[in-house]
Structure 1
Amino acid sequence: MEEAGQASLLHDGFLLLGFALFFVLVFRRLGLGATLGYLVAGAVVGPQVLGLVGDAEQKIGIAELGITLLLFIVGLELSPQRLWRMKREIFGLGLLQVVLCGLAVSGIIFLFTSFTPEAALALGLPLALSSTAQVLPMLQSAGRLRTPFGERAFAILLFQDLSIIPLITVIAAMSRNPLDAGGPPGWLLVLYTAAAIVGLIAAGRFLIRPLFGLIGNLGEREMFVVTALFTVIASAALMEMLGLSTALGAFIAGVMLADSPYRHELEADVEPFRSILLGLFFLSVGMLLDLRAIAEHPFFVAAMAAALIATKVAVIFGIATAFRMPWRSALGLGLLLSQGGEFGFVLFAQAQEALLIEPQAASLFGAIITLSMATTPFLMLATKRVRQVPDAKLATRDGPKADGAQALVVGYGRFGQTVAQMLMAGGIPVTLIDRDVDMIDVASQFGAKVYFGDGTRLDLLRQAGAGEAQLIAFCIDRDQAEPGLVEAVHEAFPQAAIYVRGFDRRSVIALHGSPVNYVMREVLESAVAMGRMALENLGLGQDEIERAEDAFRANDRERLHDQFASGDVRSSREKILTEPRRVGEP
């Protein structure tokens, strides 16, 4: 019996991987993405078409671990400081998207079908959620996850994951099943969530990090992989035991390890498992696709999927525009998040157990989710030209090319211009990159060749020749060159020294400990030079001016050292010079 089970597992694995390999290669070749290839492969090999592989429910249960690993990897790329910086997008943009899309889709279902208001809500609210498993890999493969567009998309997806608990509570509150009366109330689920998050944060800081340190000292790579998987599964299992989102638990575990020295090793160890299991997830979704339900109600499924996509695109476009996104980016965000998501299947099952919908309705709307997921690659491909800046604007703005330059300067504003001209004065070939179209036009009038592009994207830097460059200078505004970007650039191009223009003292503190070779506060040296001239004008001698500058710089270094240790810009406030004091005075 055991041998038969093993043979069946090998047989199923052989068929699933074989069909997946074929269809993914075909669909990637056509530019339609891997997700659609997996879905089609699952539908073809599943019980609805060829019937070569069965038991899709069990396989999707295993494959959901792929979503958990995906959220863990995303968490590794987001430090707590960066999450705090995104709080407006997460709790503003994300909240509005879930509420407005959920209510709009529920209203459409109620108006155009015979479902009760409770059933319409139980179906419509889950449809507001998008597919994290589909969207994040699309952003990663396009190199856009770390861009402002990618961060906003991720903020919405993260809030959607957080909203699973309230949505389960809403469905439980509308339940017609007497057995649900004894379940935990919504406020208790919120307390469970808060307690679980605090527990995971404490475990990450006081247990997991020391454990990784111990294993790192032993030099056992296999144990490192085992511990990484244990961390993910233990976090997910804790959440599942409390009836909460397993993916949220894995995400928090990732965030807690994001600023640890083990981040890159963890990401490399977990990534292969994530890729395989995520592919299996979409294969299982394709196998579960109820083609009979679609065949019996083809117009309803198609019309409802179209209504879902159109509604979410319109609502997200409106919200994104209100958040001052350019209309092309807002349209792209709406199209990218227009599909239903994998958590819809979970919430439909909850609604079915609560006797709010029939099994046939859950199957039908599951088919609608799958169909909407299948349309996303086509929609993104079909609207590519519309979402891009018009060709007329970019006709004379080439993307960067690898031309053998020793240095790349990203950002050609007032700071970048000085850095670039200093390098050129030293005989160093430089490639200039900026995404400000107006500035590129002005620079061309003075004979400077500035390439158009987002210099924070690794794929664009590689295209510009970062793989051979000896220096990459980020001369961009504010805090765009944050620690995560610097670490990713250093990992991708280890031969290149990285110089960063720091906007202010906070920027320098944030970049401390990252693999940056030098950070320059943009106004420091010019302010010191002006201070020297002012002291000279006020009658001080050169020796006194030199001593005053040395005293200021020494005091500034001491303050920075204390601030690096505490991570708080308010440290050593007592050392700020607020009263006239001669050098040598106490």
Structure 2
Amino acid sequence: MLIAVVSVAVFKRIHLPPVLAYLFAGVVAGPSGIVLFSHPEDMHLTAEVGIVFLLFSLGLEFSFPKLLAMRSLVFGAGLMQMMLTTVLGCAVVWLLFDTSVAAAIVIGGMLALSSTAIVIKQVTEMGILNNVRTQLAVSILLFQDLAVVPFLIVIPLLSGQDQTSLAMALTLALIKGVVVVAVLMSAGKWLLPWVFREVARTRTDELFVLTTILVALLAGGLTYAFGLSMALGAFLAGMMLGESQYKYQLEADIRPFRDILMGLFFVTVGMQLDLDVLMDYGHWIVLGVFILMAIKVILVRVAASMFSISSVDGWSAGLKLCQVGEFSFVIASLASSHSVITATQSSILISMGVISMALTPWLVEHSLELAHKFSAKDSIIEPEVAVVDVADVREHVIICGFGRVGQSVARMLKMENVPYLVIDVDPIRVYESRSAGEQVIYGDATQKDLLHSARIDDARLVLITFAEADKAKQVINAAKQLKPNAEIMVRTPRDADLEDLYNAGATQVVPELQEGSLMLISQVMHCAGIPMSRILKRVRQERKGRYDHLHGFYPGETTEISYNTADKLEFIHAIALGTDAFATGKTLQELAAIHNKVKIKSIRRNGEDCKVEDWQGELLAGDVLVIAGKPRRIERAERYLLEGFVTRRQS
């Protein structure tokens, strides 16, 4: 983990994807590096759980009706690509490298597979999962995952050590597959919704997370027990839950485990790279990688054209799928152990796989750009995501964060024909909104370069809509550095961070809780017959006074005070002065020690409220001081007024 953390940090600094960092960490930690693990295959099963979670997440994106709608791509383009690549790879290996027919079949099948893990991870992070070319790539990947099963069955038969007939073995595998798919689909339709409904009723986050992990692992374990891929079972379970109301919560719960275990998986892939073999056959391996990737791109394009897929989409999908897949390593290990291929051949194929995987993130990122170059020059295809043109934007509002609040503001601005630009860091939301024509820039609004790209110099207002106060302060700081006189409005859920945000440089801070109360008060006053002019004047006064009359409340038995909120809440507390109280007989000027810590709201004498600014004279026994402040300061102020004890903080 230390090597992986350092590698990811360094690779991100030089703008390389984390997948490459994990592969590099595996090379460093493996047998070819510092030999932390001399037998990396021992870790492979644990790492494969990362693929289980990845396919479970992918399944949540593909409901059963959606998969049925894609059946022509899965069993059409997927089957065509697998057959073309396997047959061609088998023929080339058999004719040029003097291998047995069995070895040629296995190697051809290995080369036909692509990396589900890298491709799905990359397209998800880019937010392009839902366009046609990515759907084509995912359909082919799904068929490849299904095609792994026959290869795992056939390899022992090709070695001659297993006497079972090939037809019998494949028939048995087909029956097992039908049974396990039927079981999973039945459980997903009837059992899982009931399970998650009952779990949700407990309102226990830990139980929901544990149940999610358990379902993914049980589904993978069930298919594994039947001799099928664990990833297939997890995908089916996710797909069955993709139509449920818990879809987004399930995805959020599984993401941390998926990302950590996927990192571990890529580390184990890097460990399998044998540097000695790479040195001995390096020129042939590199040449083989480029020839293989070029051929796979062409074959995917051919398969796509048979199903009326556009040229650009076909080339783009081919560029995404031209690497060697992670299941190829499993096949290589099994074939080597059954002596179908030699250990050297296995190492060469694994080296080709690792190198092709290392090139994949760049190819996926630039697949559309390259696809346009391969296609006819006059082809007109929609871009990966709509391009945001900011050249002519002036006097606009920059909306930082496009969640519920940001989208609501954008709709109202659009109704009034006020131009705006949005900055958001959620790739899925950016893709969905840009596809719908919204002016959304992907990225972190705390970065000055991004604010500059959003033309902050020409903007009339910067609106920060996300709830994280610390992140909002970073945006304010970055905006003020670029434009010192920038108008910055910040939305915050509560008033706890009001002063901090103003001190950071915000022009106006809008606390939702106080604004909601203010709107309610306005409605109540209107219904009570107060003229609208007076209501509007009162609202303006409250906003100008930073909601002074809306701060503080009387605590009750159910009021929760935690360590984090003790210094942010504001209480109102009444203190009755007895005959022996320290404050009795003293003027407010003599009690100045508490003025900077709490605020005296009013003084009650004989049941009547007296304004503090009009108060003169001494306090008497029976007077009630109404003070407002933070809980700890309230306690110290009460002790001072009653006992005369001044703490070091107060003094």
Would the TM-score normalized by the shorter structure come out above 0.5? yes
Change (3 A) 1:289 1:458: farther
Q: 1:285 aligns with which of 269, 274, 278?
A: 269
Matched, 1:109 2:93: yes
In structure 2, give the amino acid aligned to 1:90. V
**Maintained 8 Å contact 1:172/1:180:** no
Equivalent-residue separation in structure 2 for 1:292 and 1:184 (angstroms): 41
Paired with 2:327 and 2:115, the residues of 1 have a C-alpha distance of: 8
Distance change in 2, residues 1:273/1:460 (3 Å): farther
- 2:328 aligns with 344
- State the shift of 1:341 in Å: 0.4
Cross-structure match for 2:23: 39
Give the distance between the partners of 1:425 and 1:124, measured in 2 at CA.
Answer: 56
Aligned-pair CA distance for 1:304: 2.2
How far apart, in 2, do the equivalents of 1:267 and 1:458 lie? 24
How far, CA to CA, are the matches of 1:47 and 1:349 in structure 2?
16
Q: Which protein shows a greater Rg?
A: 2
Contact 1:294/1:301 (8 A) holds in 2: yes
Match of 1:245 in 2: 229
Map of 1:372 onto structure 2: 356
C-alpha distance in 2 between matches for 1:454 and 1:235: 30
The residue number in structure 2 matching 1:315 is: 299
- The amino acid across from 2:441 in the alignment is Q
For residues 348-359 of structure 1, the aligned pairs below 5 Å read 348-359=332-343
Going from structure 1 to structure 2, the CA distance change for 1:183 and 1:96 (only over 3 Å counts) comes to closer
- Cα distance 1:231–1:331, how it changes in 2: closer, same or farther (>3 A)? same
2:4 equivalent to 1:26 = no
- CA gap 1:424/1:345 in 2 versus in 1, 3 angstroms: closer
Report the residue type matching 2:388 in the other structure: G
TM-aligned CA deviation for residue 300 of structure 1: 2.6
One-letter identity of the residue aligned with 1:69? F
Gaps of 5+ in 1: 1-16, 407-421, 434-451, 471-494, 496-586
What does the per-residue CA deviation read over 1:113-158, in whole Å, with 9 as the maximum and x for residues that have no partner? 1211221111111211100010011101111111112211111111
Change (3 A) 1:201 1:120: same
Which residue number corresponds to residue 556 of structure 2? none
Partner of 2:560: none
Conserved in 2, the CA contact under 8 Å of 1:143 and 1:457? Answer: no
Aligned to 2:388: 399
In the alignment, structure 1 residue 223 sits paired with structure 2 residue 201: no
Aligned pairs (5 A) from 1:33-112: 33-112=17-96
Equivalent residue for 2:313? 329
* SS of residue in 2 equivalent to 1:185: helix
| Higher alpha-carbon deviation: 424-433 or 161-170 | 424-433
User: Which one has more relative contact order, counting CA pairs under 8 Å at least 6 apart?
Assistant: 1
Per-residue deviation at 1:331? 2.2
Cα shift at 1:400: 5.1
> Within 1, Cα distance between the matches of 2:367 and 2:198?
51
Q: Which amino acid aligns with 1:194?
A: V
1:287 & 1:127 partners in 2: Cα distance?
20
- 2:182 maps to what in 1? 198
What is the CA–CA distance in structure 2 between the aligned matches of 1:424 and 1:112, rounded to whole Å? 66
Which amino acid is 2:53 matched to? L
The CA deviation string for residues 331-354 of structure 1, in whole angstroms up to 9 with x for no partner, is 222121110001111222332344
Deviations 1:300-336 (A, max 9, x none): 3222222221210111122224434443332222121
- Give the letter aligned to residue 399 of structure 1: V
Contact 1:129–1:341 (Cα < 8 Å) also in 2 = yes
Q: Give the match's secondary structure for 2:304.
A: helix
CA distance in 1, matches of 2:464, 2:389: 13
CA distance in 1, matches of 2:156, 2:170: 8
Provide the C-alpha distance between the structure 2 equivalents of 1:253 and 1:454, rounded to a whole number of angstroms.
25
| Equivalent-residue separation in structure 2 for 1:55 and 1:322 (angstroms) | 44
Q: Could you say which residue in structure 1 is the equivalent of 2:242? A: 258
Q: Distance in 2 between matches of 1:127 and 1:272?
A: 31
More helix by share: 1
User: What is the aligned partner in structure 1 of residue 129 from structure 2?
Assistant: 145
TM-superposed CA distance for 1:38, in Å, is 0.8
Q: Tell me if the contact between 1:400 and 1:453 (Cα under 8 Å) persists in the aligned partners.
A: no
Which string of whole-angstrom CA distances, capped at 9 and with x for unpartnered residues, describes residues 53-75 of structure 1? Answer: 44411222201100010000000
Question: What amino acid is aligned across from residue 315 of structure 1 in structure 2?
Answer: L
Change (3 A) 1:108 1:228: same
Say whether the 8 Å CA contact 1:400–1:460 is kept in structure 2.
no
- Preserved CA contact (<8 Å) 1:126 1:167: no
Matches within 5 A, 1:478-489: none
Secondary structure class of the residue paired with 1:463: strand
> Which residue matches 1:295?
279
Distance 2:432 2:200 in 1: 36
- The answer to whether the 8 Å contact 2:421/2:439 transfers is no
Q: Secondary structure at the match of 2:341?
A: coil
Residue by residue over 1:429-477, the C-alpha shift from the partner in whole angstroms, topping out at 9 and shown as x without a partner, is 47799xxxxxxxxxxxxxxxxxx99756599764299x9899xxxxxxx
The answer to whether the Cα contact below 8 Å between 2:23 and 2:267 also exists between their aligned partners in 1 is yes
Distance 2:332 2:298 in 1: 24
**SS at 1:163 equivalent:** helix
Query: Structure 2 vs 1, CA of residues 362 and 32 (structure 1 numbering), >3 Å: closer, same or farther?
Result: same
Paired residues for 1:168-567 under 5 Å:
168-178=152-162, 185-380=169-364, 385-387=369-371, 399=388, 403-404=396-397, 427-429=416-418, 455=433, 462-463=440-441
CA–CA distance in 1 between the matches of 2:82 and 2:311?
Answer: 20
Partner of residue 535, structure 1: none
| Aligned residues of 1:77 and 1:255 also touching (Cα < 8 A) | yes
Counterpart of 1:319 in structure 2: which amino acid? A
Quote the offset at 1:384 in angstroms. 6.4
- By how many angstroms is 1:289 displaced? 1.0
d(CA) in 1 for partners of 2:432 and 2:246? 28
1:160 aligned to which of 136, 141, 144: 144
> In structure 2, what residue type is equivalent to 1:128?
A
1:68 maps to a residue whose letter is V
Residue 247 of structure 1: how far off its partner (Å): 0.3
Change in Cα spacing, 1:261 to 1:319, as seen in structure 2 (3 Å) is same
C-alpha distance in structure 1 between counterparts of 2:414 and 2:204, whole Å: 50
In structure 2, do the counterparts of structure 1 residues 460 and 377 end up closer, same or farther at CA, with 3 Å as the change threshold?
Answer: farther
Q: Distance in 2 between matches of 1:384 and 1:428?
A: 33
Shift of 1:405: 9.2
Q: Residue 115 of structure 2 aligns with which residue?
A: 131
Deviation per residue, 1:167-197 (Å, 9 max, x gap): 3344344332146669961111001001001
TM-score by length of 2: 0.59
CA distance change for structure 1 residues 391 and 325 in 2, over 3 Å: closer, same or farther?
closer
* Structure 2 runs not aligned, ≥5 long: 400-410, 423-429, 443-453, 455-461, 466-492, 494-651
CA distance in 2 between counterparts of 1:80 and 1:392 reads: 34
Q: CA deviation at 1:243?
A: 0.7
1:386-423 CA-partner distances (Å, limit 9, x unpaired): 3458899999x9515694499xxxxxxxxxxxxxxx99
Q: Distance between the aligned counterparts of 1:161 and 1:460, measured in 2? A: 36
Does the CA contact (< 8 Å) of 2:52 and 2:220 recur in 1? yes
Identity %: 31
Deviations 1:485-518 (A, max 9, x none): xxxxxxxxxx9xxxxxxxxxxxxxxxxxxxxxxx
Tell me if structure 2 keeps the 8 A contact 1:321–1:327: yes
State how far apart, in whole Å, the 1-side matches of 2:220 and 2:439 are.
36
Q: C-alpha separation between the residues in 2 aligned to 1:461 and 1:71? A: 32
